Every structure is written in structure tokens, then in C-alpha cells.
Copies of this chain bind each other. A is one copy, B any other.
Amino acid sequence: MKPSTWIVNARPFGGAPMDVRVTGAVIDAIAPHGERQPAPGDTVIDGAGALLLPGFVEGHTHLDKTTWGMPWYRNAVGPRLIDRIENERRWRAESGHDAAAASRALALAFLREGTTRLRTHVDIDTDAGLRHLEGVCDMRAALADVLDMQLVAFPQSGVLKRPGTRELLDAALANGADVLGALDPSSIDGDPAASLDVTFALATKHGKPIDMHLHEPGDLGAFTFDLLLDRVEAHGYQGRVVVSHAFCLGALPDARRGALLERIARANVALLTTAPASVSVPPFRETRAAGVTLFGGNDGIRDAWTPFGSPDMLERAMLIAMRYDLRRDDDLAAAFDCVSIEAARACGFADYGFAPGMRADLVLVDAETVAQAVAMRPPRRFVMANGTPISPEFTR
């Protein structure tokens, strides 16, 4: 029999102390603390009564853009979306920014803070071609034993405006990308029907899910969202589409929002929010009550777009809770769900959760409850990823 690792005297989600047995990469037993004895040769890790959580899930980031671990990027960019897109393309070209090295540094920081699955959007454009994707693919392969990463082929400059983008996305989906990205079909591409048709043609050709960034505001965003839903229904893509940001849902008249949420629920489209403080967001309770999955992520972290963001998903859960004015303990636990079970469900990370048979992704922190962990973001006492204990040395 293979030796196992036991994490003993740990409190899953703040409940009673339990002992957890991990064999290989899988949780294979959970029992009240002290009820079962480790076998000779098993490794025992003392949880010392700490809070035990499943590994965190980052639902939306851009590892390839980050300056993590590099000198501070001094941001003097203009305020418009197009200023930021162009500033970044110029900076990446001029600075010789190494997407693979930067991605690796940030991926390891995520791991150190307890994130074991993540979805990252990788820029595909006619300047860089597939260069960023190739770098991130290599990085993913090197860390595959511990980190489970989904790569999204993301057309940061739109799919229609720069000829050749469609072919690059096609090649990306044939060469390592798990998901097809998309971006503001109306406001960036200026031709939402055509843009969405290209997206669905590519996705269905490769049988890949879709993750669309939709920053478009109010009525425009809702218009685009409906066009997307038409195609979800036409192509039988229910359950295979995420819409990221969806600011529009926070700025519609009640009746319009209610009807759109109902349609989103029927299409089983999930919504990703970074819970930005400065723009409207899909309403928390109403979205969930409609049966729509709402999950969380950082978006970019310390890059040419933003100085903010953190690989600590407990901090993202806190920001989600602050954005939605969630203060009660049960509400803070729901914010944590956004960076754990809900994110795993929306992205389709299999074998996720704290139960026998699931992948052994576990985090210990010193906190009484999940709510306290979200509010205080204590240092990680212990992280296990895919059955491997993560030592601080490993992630440097």
C-alpha cells in the first residue's frame, strides 16, 4: 500500500476538528479528529486546530501581462480603454517583456498563497502572434504537477479589426489554448454580429468553451449580451460560456435586468466579476437568486493596465464582500465560494472540493471561521496542491 499524508486536527470551513488522509493526489478519507490512526510510514501534518479550506480558484487573470517580481512599472497612461490597449502593446514591444518568466513568477506566488487552479487569458494579437501563448504553455507544463491552469486565447485588440487575428486564434486553439476568449464585440469590433459569429465558428470548430470580456455599459452591454445568448442557444453552447465583467447588469432598469438574468440562467452562462469598486457590477443576491453562477477573479495583476491585484484570493474574496456590502459571517462565506467552488464550477475544474475522491488541494490558515479568513487574510500556514505539500522554497 502506498504511504499517505494525514493532515490532522484541522477544521474544514471552521467546523469540528477532522483528520484528512491524502494518498497520491487525492483526498481519500475524512474522519473526526483522532478516530482513525495513520498507518506506519504515513506522514502526519499537525493542523493545530487551524481552519482548513479547499485550494483557491482564480477565475480570471492575465499572468502573461504581469510585472510581478520586476521593477515597479510607472503608469502614466490615459484614461480610455483604447489608451490602455495601445499603451500596453507598445510597452510590451519596447520593453521586451518576457511573458513566460513573468507568468511563472506570478503563478508561483498564487500557489504560495493557496491557489491551485486558475484560468488565465493570454494575449493573441498580430504583433505578438502566439509568442505569449507559447511562453505560458511551457510554463504550464513545467508546473503541471501542482498547478492546474486553463489558458484562454484572448484577442486583446478585438477579432475583426486586425486581419490575421482569426487565423491566430484558430492556431492558438489547436496549440494549447483551452478556451476561446472574446472582447466587447460592439465597442471594440464595431460589428457585434460578425464578431460573435467568428467567435462561435472558431469555438465550435475546436469544441472549446468561450470566455467573453464584456465591458460594454448599460443598454449597449445588454444588447450585446442578447446577441451572445442567441448564439449560445443556436449552437447548443449552454453551460460552456462565461461572460466576464458584465458591468451592464449593474446599470439596467430592474425589469430589463431581471429578464436578462432569467435568460442567462436558462443558457447556463456564468458571470465572472472582479468586484471593481469604481464601476457597476452584476447584483450579488439577485444574480444568485436567478440561478446564475457568479464567481471571482483578479483580472490583471500589477501590469500596464493596473497597479492593483494580488495572488491572494482571500483578498479578492474580501474585495468582493466589500463591493457587495457583505458583512455577515454567512455572506462572507458566500464571497469565499466565489473564489473556490463557484469558480471551479464555472470554469469546469474537475474533482474540485473538500470530499473523498477529490483532488488534494488544501490550505490551512489561522482563523476561527471562513468569514475571519476572508476579512483578515492570514498568512498561509500550509498549502497542498494536487497532493504535494508546497514549501516556501518551492515557490521562490
Contact = CB atoms under 8 A, between A and B. Distances in A.
Q: Chain A: interface secondary structure?
A: loop
Nearest to A305: B327
A130 to B, nearest CB: 29
A345 interface: no
Interface stretch (A15-23, A52-60, A72-80, A235-243): A72-80
Contact of A330 (B76, B275, B374): B76
A374 to B, nearest CB: 8
Nearest to A71: B368
Copies in the complex: 2
A328 B73 CA distance: 10
Interface in A25-79: 71-72, 74-77
Contacts of A375: 302, 307-308
A319 interface: yes
A75 B371 contact: yes
Nearest to A368: B72
Contacts of A95: none
B74 A329 contact: yes
Given A278-B323, A324-B278, A76 B329 contact: yes
A277 B319 contact: yes
Interface in A261-291: 275-279
A306 interface: yes
28 contacts: A72-B368, A72-B371, A72-B372, A74-B329, A75-B327, A75-B328, A75-B371, A76-B328, A76-B330, A77-B327, A77-B328, A275-B277, A276-B322, A277-B277, A277-B322, A277-B323, A278-B322, A279-B325, A302-B375, A305-B327, A306-B327, A307-B329, A307-B332, A308-B318, A308-B321, A308-B322, A308-B327, A319-B322
